[in-house]
Amino acid sequence: MFAPGRTMMDAADGTGSNKAAGAAGPGRAGAKVLVVEDEPSLVATLSYNLRKNGFDVVSATDGAAGLQAARRDRPDVVVLDLMLPKMDGLEVCRRIRGDSDVPILMLTAKGEELDRVVGLEMGADDYLTKPFGMRELMARVRALLRRSGARRAEGNGGQITAGAIEIDPRGRTVRRDGADVALKPKEFDLLTFLARNPGQVFTREQILERVWGYDFFGGSRTVDVHMRWLREKVEVEPARPAHLLTVRGVGYKFVR
Ligand code: CA
């Protein structure tokens, strides 16, 4: 789908890409980038250029392998193609987001306008449309690393705190007033999804799609039931929730 060779190699060989590998470059030497892309020549080009710029690179050529690599190799950034065999990029993105805050840069082909918007809603941090220049890609990857580095520097490791509630997405643990709260996996996913988007209202259908996935056949009552369970577990006064709020006629939102 991308214009092979020319644009990308030209950009890669341009001045500036090497200079950026120095101390003033990536910001974190040896940061690990996971490339999930099914086009072999693009994987090769990306890997070559990322390594040349001082990054460690791991790659996967289908969605399922990409998800596995994201969990196993603990990359600092994921470059994720949208159209992938076995599991598409949106689903991979959604699943990675279930347990990690790793920055995700989505690659889309021209004309996938709708998909890329959905991609950002699914938890991608940025996107690039093919064909793109390597310098542009490096700039995006570095920007994502800077942002996540800044988040880490805050010392919270992606942790979300709201009143008495502390959520640790990496460890998949929740505490209320310092005490561990036992949540079922979907309760945890639902809480984390809402808490990552504070103040944003989601319909039940949107929540189903993002937390349960496109292949889920249950009705929107599922969301209500999980919301009730969640409130009973994490809210101090479940009948008068302070964080997991109902927006009448629309859906739910999380407030800090
Ligand atoms: Ca592809």
- Tokens representing residue 201 in the block: 């209202």
Alpha-carbon Rg for the chain in angstroms: 20
Last residue of one domain, picked from the residues 95, 124, 153: 153
36/228 Cα distance (integer angstroms): 37
pLDDT higher than 90, residue 67: yes
Q: Residue 3 domain-assigned?
A: no
Domain-terminating residue out of 113, 132, 153: 153
Q: Residue 66 domain-assigned?
A: yes
**Do the strands 160-162 and 202-203 form a parallel or antiparallel pair, or are they unpaired?**
unpaired
Residues with CB under 5 Å of ion ligand 1 are 38, 81, 83
Q: Provide the 10 A C-beta neighbour count for residue 67.
A: 23
DSSP state of 210: I
Q: pLDDT of 102-150, one tens digit each?
A: 999 999 886 665 555 566 667 788 888 888 999 999 999 998 888 776 5
Cα dist. 242→78, 162, 174, 232, 233 in Å?
A: 35, 9, 16, 12, 13
Distance (angstroms) between ligand 1 centre and the Cα of 57 equals 18
Q: Identify whether residues 81 and 164 lie together within a single domain.
A: no
How many domains is the chain built from? 2
Q: How far is the CA of 21 from the centre of ligand 1 (A)?
A: 28
Residue with tokens 């790659």: 59
Domain span holding position 185: 157-254
Measure 66 CA to ligand 1 centroid, in angstroms. Answer: 12
Ligand 1: distance of its center to the CA of 226 in Å? 35
CA 37 to ligand 1 center in whole angstroms: 6
Q: Which two tokens stand for residue 192?
A: 């984390």
Q: How far is the CA of 98 from the centre of ligand 1 (A)?
A: 23
Ligand 1 centroid, distance to 63 Cα (angstroms): 10
| Co-location of 147 and 163 in the same domain | no
Whether residues 73 and 28 share a domain: the answer is yes
**Helix (H, G, I), strand (E, B), or coil: what is residue 120?**
helix
Distance 110 CA to ligand 1 centre (A): 12
In angstroms, what is the span from residue 139 Cα to ligand 1's centroid? 22
For residue 247, give the CATH number of its domain: 1.10.10.10
Residue 76: per-residue pLDDT: 92
Q: Which range among 36-40, 81-85, 97-101, 164-168 shows the weakest confidence by mean pLDDT?
A: 97-101
| CA 106 – ligand 1 centroid, Å | 11
pTM of the model: 0.53
Distance 111 CA to ligand 1 centre (A): 14
Lowest mean pLDDT among 12-21, 99-108, 197-206, 244-253: 12-21
Phi, psi of 68 (to 5 degrees): -60, -45
Asked whether the beta carbons of 141 and 50 are under 8 A apart, the reply is yes
